Amino acid sequence: MLVVQSIAKNLQMPYDYKSIFKVVSDIKTIPVQLEKRSYSIYLDDNWESLFQEGLSSIYTKDASDRKLLLITDENVANWYQQAVEEQFRNLGFTVTTAVIKPGESAKTLGEAEKLYDIALEANLDRQSLVVALGGGVIGDLAGFVAATYMRGVPFVQIPTSLLAQVDSSVGGKVAVNHPKAKNVIGAFYQPQSVLMNVSSLKTLPKRELSTGLAEVIKYGVIYDESFLSWLETHMTDLMSLDLSLLSKAIQRSCEIKADVVSQDETEQGLRAILNFGHTVGHAIESSAGYGSYTHGEAVSIGMIVETRITHLMGMVPAEYVNRLEAVLIGAGLPVTLPDVDPNVLIGWMRHDKKNIGDKIGFVLPVGPGRVEVFHNVETDIVLEALA
């Protein structure tokens, strides 16, 4: 269900939002090099500086009468809607805000259709802007709407969860779910800018912090062994919301993803490494029902199962499986499978986007900081790893 709010409505904030955001560091800029579709990620802890640096060069007060659709959810709206609307008004925008219910169940074609209706009622045209304010679900859904409304309108990501900041807001993947498979209806559609306020993590539930750390840990496994070691050393402080360390973790994660995406925007090869843990993880999400496990929780279990597969294939020692398990547990993440028939999980894996023909695609670690894509894993080995 959607709730449309005008910019004139005054929300009752939990407390003065300006008191949350204190400037403690200089803004960080991470470029994503994609020729004509290049853009930058901006990381700071202050809304004003983020907008000044990340949007004022694109949209100025001279761009009067521009319209935008701000898409967020009920939880995020209570904290950040007022602050973000104010910044866009300062740039001369007329804002229509759509507030949806939180959770993976909102990533549907039906919900997208409701957002098209709101965009049409607000007279949004091809020069109008769609803005995603929230976590990964909001980013995926809003990005899908931006990619398909009038065959594509400008899009800005403002991710407020750790998962969205280090993963889903970067790289241009946008999608909605189908009842039979996750993220199979979508596009590659790059934003014009990504604005990350690290202070938004202060209002994040502990479970959502953990789910984001799953993707952070993934980057250490697939790309940067020294980053994985750094995470092992600092995990306690990261879990305690040390914003300085979280900022460093976000920056390194974005640098890694930006490097991969810059080399392979549409996942023709290298970008597939970002899916480590996701073949099993998506199967867990789908079989358990979207929302039973967070994305990071499912990927955490998936990374353990897929590393066990590699161990059973003789490519990594048992100590490596144990090491990954320990860092995931330290991040408050699950490492054991739910009570699901392994054959049911394999059935869901057969719908995975990485598959070739009837061969399930897995991204498997083959050494510290290195992974490869496999399409020749025997079903018996997968079943043994799941068991």
Q: Comparing 131-135, 170-174, 211-215, which segment has the lowest mean pLDDT? A: 170-174
197 catalytically annotated:
no
Q: What is the pLDDT of residue 357?
A: 74
Question: What's the number of CA atoms in the CB half-sphere (13 Å) around residue 370?
Answer: 5
Could you say which of 107, 218, 248, 295 is catalytic? 295
What is the chain's mean pLDDT, rounded?
Answer: 89
Catalytic residue among 218, 248, 278, 354: 278
Q: Which long-range contacts (CB under 8 A, 24 or more apart) does 367-374 make?
A: 367/315, 367/316, 368/225, 368/228, 368/320, 369/220, 369/221, 369/222, 369/223, 369/224, 369/225, 369/226, 369/228, 370/222, 371/221, 371/222, 371/273, 371/276, 372/273, 373/272, 373/273
- The confidence band for 64, taking pLDDT boundaries of 50, 70 and 90, is low
The H-or-E segment that residue 70 falls in is: strand 66-73
Please tell me the predicted confidence (pLDDT) of residue 354.
77
Q: Is the pLDDT of residue 3 over 70?
A: no
Is 89 in the active site?
A: no
Q: Is 121 a catalytic residue?
A: no
Among the listed residues 208, 255, 267, 306, the single catalytic one is 267
Q: What is the mean pLDDT of residues 220-243?
A: 97
Is 215 among the catalytic positions? yes
- Examine the pLDDT at 83 and tell me if it is beyond 80: yes
Q: Is the dihedral of CA 153, 158, 162, 166 positive or negative?
A: positive
Average pLDDT (360-382) is 93
| The listed CATH number (3.40.50.360, 1.20.1260.10, 1.20.1090.10, 3.30.365.10) that belongs to domain 206-386 | 1.20.1090.10
Query: Binning pLDDT at 50, 70 and 90, where does residue 95 land?
Result: very high
The reported pLDDT for the residue numbered 290 is: 64
Does pLDDT of 9 surpass 60?
Answer: no
CA distance 313 to 259: 29
66 touches 128 (CB < 8 A): yes
State yes or no: pLDDT of 86 exceeds 90: yes
Q: HSE-up of 302 (CA within 13 Å, CB side)?
A: 31
Span 2-203 CATH architecture: 3-Layer(aba) Sandwich (3.40)
In sequence order, the 6+-apart residues with CB closer than 8 A to the CB of 65 are 92, 94
Q: Let me know if 225 is a catalytic residue.
A: no
Can 67 be counted among the known catalytic residues?
A: no
- 10 carries an active-site annotation: no
Predicted confidence at residue 17, as pLDDT, reads 32
**Given the residues 107, 271, 323, 354, the one annotated as active site:** 271
- 234 catalytic? Reply is no
pLDDT higher than 70, residue 284: yes
* Domain boundaries along the sequence of the chain: 2-203, 206-386
- Res. 291 pLDDT band, cuts 50 70 90: low
Mean pLDDT computed over 322-339: 96
